Structure 1
Amino acid sequence: MEELSSQVLNPDRLKALETWLHETGVKLTQVNGQRKYGGPPDDWRGAPPGPGCEVFINQIPRDVFEDQLIPLFLSVGPLWEFRLMMNFSGQNRGFAYAKYDSPALAAAAMRALNGYSLKPGARLSVRRSTEKRQICLGALPASTGREQLLQVLRELSEGVESVTLKTGPLEEGVSALVVYASHHAASMAKKVVVEAFKKRFGLVIAVKWQPTPRSQPDDPVRPPKAPTPLKPPRHPHLSQPPGFSRAVGGPCSVAPAAPGSRQVSQAPPVDAVKLLQGMCEVYGRGKPLYDLQYLHTGPDGFLYFGYRVYVPGLARPLTGMVQTLPGPRPEAIKDEACRAAAKQVLSVLYRA
């Protein structure tokens, strides 16, 4: 009975919403499972907000609507947009997004409204929105071209900024990284492109969020402290990380023995990936994240990769290019490229 009663709409709350809309003239638009105010509102002046201006609101009672939520979040500052997630029954789904014109106002909303009590036993959770803007399309035809895909996506969805095709030994078939102008645009595209490709081209493709590495967690109550510069430990016998033989992050640091000389046993080379991870963990920063992209195969047979390595505690990723010899499996090639990238990153950090 409790489950059934939770699905029944509160007529008094619906009447209050209708009265508020009539008295204020606020316009709400129902779009794909959400009800939107603004984006921007009619009286907005200025450019659209940039990154860091949106907050995620959770634990909203199911019979609470915009007549209570929008004035509450407007009390902090002007709203560019407010989106309340809705289900087919007409109830809200318990969460919403509010976007302000500056990161400072978003931070103020988190401080003022996180834990705010709308009714006895119901306290809002307000924290920074992740604002993911990148989705990954998989299982695309081998003949897919970048310009062709870009044109199709712009017909099917709004806010497409760029498309990058991913092919090569580390990819199964052809996939694409699509960057949108906003989290809202990417979220809407994620809902419609699968069905649109099926109806228009008879293709079943895969769509998922592209992870966005973050260097520090969100905390609406206590903003994170600025990270202290990350300095690698100095080893008395290690002026730079050791090389390794297959990946061109640098040649192996062990010189070949001269003819006729006695072979001196050497310590096994240090795995640069483990060394970088251990260094980050020593400083309590977590684990580094690797983003590899196959570029091309050279005439000498080497595979060339671009990389971004997100080192916790650093404001920006470290980027570069490495090359490896082909391996027996895609996983082995990826591991080799990661080791080469880690070695280059360690070299940069040791020179810092």
Structure 2
Amino acid sequence: MVNVERLQALETWIKTTNTKITQVKGQRKYGGPPEVWDGPLPGLNCEVFISHIPRDTYEDLLIPLFSSVGPLWEFRLMMNFSGQNRGFAYAKYGSAKVAKNAIRCLNGSMLAPGVRIFVCPSSEKRKIYLTPLSTTIRKDDLLQELRKMVEGVESLSLMSGPETMTMSAVVVFSSHYMASIAKRTLGQAFLKRFGVCISIQWKCPEKVNDELHLPEKSESFPASTPKFSELAQHMAEISQMPHPAPQNPSFISAAFCGAVGEPLVPKSATCPPTAALSVSPVIFLQNCCAVSGLGLPQFEFIYNYAQPDEVYHFDYKVRVPGLGVFPGQIMISPGPNDTATLERAREAAAQQLLQSVIGLKVFIR
């Protein structure tokens, strides 16, 4: 639900301060630069990424906060059609020094009771990858067509595609903003103009994520038909078994909520069977398999891509020996290191499997 009082406060602030904010395709932008700007043009490492923003928090609170460490060259708040923000934003300063100071001073700031924002360097991705393309395509022709369809194209290079007899294109844009617009619109533009479906990604389709080093898979799980009814029966039995009370009875784990994309809410708001509250989804699933006389679940992950808001997309397969292979897709926020990121991926995959079988949705670690 949209907070009407907060929207009214935003409108009052805009009128009082005469601040100009422009709505541009899913985001609201201030500056770029603002009308009065006497600082240098931003270079590398001048932008910060802000996440965990309360959904009813707007520019009337955010712009003054991020201006407190130095003049803002640009501020972009990502928005939903509902009128709520999407939980993340970007702030750009005139120098890398000011941006670094913003991270030091503002990371962990509390904008709502119990909710702290996360501020870190923005990746400012300017490359997108297009695949699959015909091997007969000419670089100059494709570059010319791309500049007709989208703005900000600086350069283009071609390389062998991940599929046999295909090519991939690496397109470099003048800014992350231009690249993100192209990523959203080029797929439809290619289909309309050439009748061709292409995949558009932030990461090279031939590589695993350069920043996340996943372990090599020891085996490839073949597709099979898992016995959902049998698994559901054992899970239902486990859910009735008593477990110790959770260590933190007040709130669901923030790390886990981030892993599965759920908001941080009081336990009383969504209270599943008590058996699910004291263990992680992975441990709960392992308990189900152990009681059922099955082998321990094995997880396989394939990295797909990351969204601009630093959300990783994975395909997964969970193999339960004696039952079959359960495939699916998850989105997780990255952890502080590779090990933590993989643990979040395992929890999200186990959570999704448990929810699909017996409807267990919320877990406390």
TM-score range, shorter chain: 0.5 to 0.7
Local SS of the residue matching 1:48: coil
Please tell me whether residue 11 in structure 1 is matched to residue 19 in structure 2.
no
Aligned partners of 2:94 and 2:114: how far apart in 1? 31
CA drift of 1:48 comes to 3.1
Provide the residue aligned with 1:21 in structure 2. Answer: 14
Shift of the 88–170 alpha-carbon distance from structure 1 to 2, 3 Å rule, reads closer
Counterpart CA distance in 2 for 1:39 and 1:120 is: 32
CA distance in 2, matches of 1:169, 1:192: 23
CA RMSD of aligned residues (A): 2.0
User: Which structure is higher in helix share?
Assistant: 2
Q: Deviations over 1:131-157 (max 9, x none)?
A: 111111002233321111111222222
2:144 to 115, 140, 151: 151
Task: Give, in whole Å, the separation in 2 of the partners of 1:103 and 1:214.
Answer: 22
Q: Which aligned pairs between 1:108-147 and structure 2 lie closer than 5 A?
A: 108-147=101-140
Closer, same or farther: CA 171–76 of 1 in aligned 2, 3 Å = farther
The whole-number CA distance in structure 2 between the counterparts of 1:124 and 1:72 is: 12
Q: Deviations over 1:163-209 (max 9, x none)?
A: 00113898651210011121111111101100111112211111001
Q: Who is 1:208 aligned against?
A: 201
Give the aligned length. Answer: 208
* 1:66-77 alignment, distance < 5 Å: 66-77=59-70
CA contact (8 A) 2:161 2:168 kept: no
In 1, distance between residues paired with 2:162 and 2:103? 44
**Aligned-partner SS, 2:196:** coil
Distance 2:194 2:40 in 1: 37
Q: What does residue range 241-260 of structure 1 map to in structure 2 within 5 Å?
A: none
Paired with 1:20 and 1:186, the residues of 2 have a C-alpha distance of 31
Change (3 A) 1:117 1:140: same
Q: CA deviation at 1:19?
A: 0.8
1:27-106 aligned within 5 A: 27-45=20-38, 48-106=41-99
SS at match of 1:77: coil
Give, in whole Å, the separation in 2 of the partners of 1:106 and 1:214: 22
Cα deviation 1:20-64 (Å, max 9, x = unaligned): 111122111212211111112121235531111111101100000
* Aligned equivalents of 1:106, 1:57: Cα separation in 2: 12
Q: Deviations over 1:97-146 (max 9, x none)?
A: 10111111111000100011112111111011111111110022333211
Partner of 2:5, secondary structure, is helix
Which consecutive unaligned segments of at least 5 residues does structure 1 have?
1-7, 216-352
Aligned match of 2:292: none
Aligned residue among 133, 154, 159 for 1:161: 154
CA 1:141–1:170: 2 relative to 1, 3 Å: closer
- Mark the runs of 5 or more structure 2 residues left unpaired by the alignment: 213-365
Query: Structure 1 residues 172 and 208, CA, compared in 2 at 3 Å: closer, same or farther?
Result: farther
Q: 1:188 aligns with which of 181, 185, 194?
A: 181
Among 152, 169, 178, the residue aligned to 1:176: 169
Pairwise CA distance, 1:214: 6.2
State the one-letter code of the partner of 1:155: K
Report the residue type matching 1:84 in the other structure.
L
- Counterparts of 1:137 and 1:48, CA distance in 2: 30
Q: Show CA shifts across 1:221-242 (max 9, x none).
A: xxxxxxxxxxxxxxxxxxxxxx
Give 1 or 2 for the bigger CA radius of gyration: 1
Distance 2:68 2:210 in 1: 32
* Bigger mean CA deviation after superposition, 139-148 or 85-94: 139-148
CA distance in 1 between counterparts of 2:53 and 2:103 reads: 15
Say if 1:186 and 1:122 are closer, same or farther in 2 by CA, change over 3 A: same
Q: Structure 2 CA distance, aligned partners of 1:172 and 1:53?
A: 40
- The SS at the match of 2:61 is helix
Provide the secondary structure at the position in 1 that maps to 2:53.
coil
